[in-house]
């Protein structure tokens, strides 16, 4: 089981494979995973195309600044902030700086806790 990773190693795998949702390559990479938990690094460019996830998630903002939109609520963020989004909740990053990147932790059962 992998117990350590570095930003440099994970970020070197972004962009990932090209898909319909990510025509310029996936803007995330898995860093660590165990059981229901996975840690990823996410670094969208220009627009955040993500859709709701089946698990609860926590974002640890690594660099940059912007807004996390959850429903009709906007939450300003900057490097060092921590944000929670429940499973299956519509959300996206907007107005983010070109250097924006965040660690994201997914865990728990589908549908959230």
Query: 51-108 pLDDT, tens per residue?
Result: 999 999 999 999 999 999 999 999 999 999 999 999 999 999 999 999 999 999 999 9
CB 95, CB 47: distance < 8 Å: no
- Burial class (CB within 10 angstroms; exposed 0-12, middle 13-18, buried 19+) of 3: exposed
3.30.70.2500, 2.60.120.10, 3.40.50.2300, 1.25.40.10: CATH of 7-107: 2.60.120.10
Long-range CB contact pairs, 26-29, < 8 A, 24+? 28/104
pLDDT score at 68: 98
What span, in angstroms and rounded, lies between the C-alpha atoms of 101 and 72? Answer: 23
């Amino acid at each position: 089981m992998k117990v350590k990773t570095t930003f440099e190693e994970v970020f070197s795998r972004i962009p990932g494979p090209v898909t319909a949702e990510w025509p310029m390559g996936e803007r995330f990479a898995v860093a660590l995973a165990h059981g229901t938990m996975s840690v990823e690094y996410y670094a969208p460019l220009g627009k955040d195309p993500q859709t709701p996830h089946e698990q609860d998630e926590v974002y640890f903002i690594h660099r940059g600044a912007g807004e996390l939109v959850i429903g009709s609520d906007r939450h300003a963020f900057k490097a060092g902030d921590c944000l929670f989004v429940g499973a299956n909740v519509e959300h996206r990053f907007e107005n983010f700086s070109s250097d924006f990147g965040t660690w994201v932790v997914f865990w728990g059962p589908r549908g959230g806790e």
